[in-house]
Amino acid sequence: MKSIPNHLNYTPKPIEKIAEIAGIDLKYIEPYGHYKGKIDLSLIKTLPPEKKGKLIFCTTINPTPAGEGKTTTTIALADALNLLGKKTILNLREPALGPLFGVRGGAIGGGKAQIIPRHDLVLHFTGDMHALTSANNLISAVLDNHIYQGNELNIDIRKIIHRHAIDMNDRQLRNMVTGLGKSHGTPREDGFDITPATELMTILCLAKDYRDLKTRISKIIIAYNQHGRPVTVEDLKISGAVTVLLKEALKPNLVQSIGGTPAMVHGGPFANIAHGCCSIVSTNLSLKLADFVVTEASFGADVGGEKFLDIKCRLGGYTPEAVVIVVSLKALKYHGGVDKKDLARESLPGLKKGLPNLIKHIENFQQVFQLPVLVAINSFEEDTLAELNLLQEECSQKGVKAILVKGWNEGGSGAINLAEEVINLTSQNHKSSFQFVYPIDKPVIDKIETIACKIYGAEGCSFAPQAYRELDKIENSPFRKLPVCIAKTQFSLTDNPLKLGRPQNFKININDLRVHAGAGLIIAFTGDIMTMPGLPRLPSALMMDIDEEGNYIGLSS
């Protein structure tokens, strides 16, 4: 096991100092306490119109219980770039309460490579999640009130698709009947989604300004009427009210890493359900302020990575300068079938069997997206030289350098070699040949199958009758030219979370499709994916406490 470094031995800088390092005039900073703040959106109007910074995208293989260290390595890389004199800003997603109290933890990095103030970050932070939850539930409240007050829009209560939201894992809320009892509303089927999986979360992260935010909110389809026509938020006349609730939430949050690197932590959609990327407004600001912007997306390269490139980069007009795939030997051995309890032991056969998962992701970035790739090896004390040599040799055969990183123990100084390779790779005067997976005007079915075949390695897709019905509707509507967002398990290249490594001879099962008109996406649901997670048998909440001095216990690394 790793020894825990004394990462509490640091002095955080006041948020005003972090703003100064980032090049932000203090009049655009709205402090939330001493070490976090909001950035006024009017700042962007004062900055040069052209983008300045180089965008570095960090991702990983299909996640495993062994851990890959993606966020830790992302933070260490940004710290290392700053140590080398390159002005760098981190772009990360906000943690959610559901995973924190469930199984995943705070998603803020670990050891000497994490963002702070960590307890604020993993709990209520600046209130963005609560604002999104309230905005989502305002739509639900007005929708049900409209039906109760006479249903002027002739809404078919059997075809209401908007659901309530809460930032908590609670399977009991997935499906229910509400409105029971005299004068308590209209009885109907209903349910809750976890806040990071809502369309409003995606909208917050894709909106470029307040006007765009309000326009997107107005287009959200909440139900269908008795004639099968969509009913939107604008039809309920509450686009303005919902936007009011999200006014502060659209402002990027500014914090710092332990190494003193400015970090914009804003928005937190899941990549297995939504698009899994932090906000466009934070990335736009960062690219105008910094030499390097280091960012990541939720989960692995097949879900968060593909959506970052095909959705966020398409909409934002971004071209990443380089991709860093973070791996650990333990995670690769897990993909090779090594039992979790044996991952700390050397297993060259297990590693060799698990390496094809990494190789598939490398091939996707090189051959499909046509982007330069580096591999960052998140170091553990148990790693052996023979295993490291095998991994580096396999990467070398693909023309990719694999660099050992010790961010958890050493922070930015443990990622200097990786940062130097990033600088070298992005200093070469090569013309970018970055490609999207599919052209936007392709038929919807072709977009879905292209992702499945090129990115996941599937032989094709199998569409359920319900999915075919929705495909037909979408193809005959203006929505047919929207990007596709496939809701799929993060644990496998397939739609079956138990199939590890690089499976062969499989199809992706598409169960349903839904138009998120406000977000501007077509969501394709696969396998058993759910928009409301449940808690495990032993949730992380059981290990948390607070002492009589108000100090947290068991809350984060």
Alpha helices by DSSP H, 267-347: 280-289, 306-307, 313-316, 329-335
- The count of other CB atoms within 10 Å of the CB of residue 401 is 16
Q: Is 46 annotated as a binding residue?
A: no
- Tell whether 65 is in a known binding site: yes
Q: What does the alpha-carbon distance between residue 437 and residue 211 come to, in Å, rounded to a whole number? A: 30
Q: Write out the two tokens for 450.
A: 């292209």
Using DSSP bridges, classify how beta strands 253-257 and 113-116 pair: parallel, antiparallel or unpaired. antiparallel
Calculate the alpha carbon distances from 294 to 54, 212, 226, 480, 487 in Å: 8, 25, 48, 33, 25
The DSSP element (H or E) to which 360 belongs, if any, is helix 348-363
66 labeled part of a ligand binding site:
yes
Sign of CA dihedral 68, 72, 78, 81: negative
Please say whether the beta carbons of 116 and 454 come within 8 A. Answer: no
Among residues 400, 391, 330, which one has the least CA distance to residue 367?
Answer: 400
Q: Does the annotation flag 67 for ligand binding?
A: yes
Query: Of 527, 533, 556, which is closest to residue 544 (Cα–Cα)?
Result: 556
The Cα 320–Cα 372 span in angstroms is 9
Q: Is 68 annotated as a binding residue?
A: yes
Q: Is 71 annotated as a binding residue?
A: yes
> Tell me, what DSSP letter sits at residue 461?
E
Binding-site residues for ATP sit at 64-71
Binding-site annotation: residue ranges: 64-71
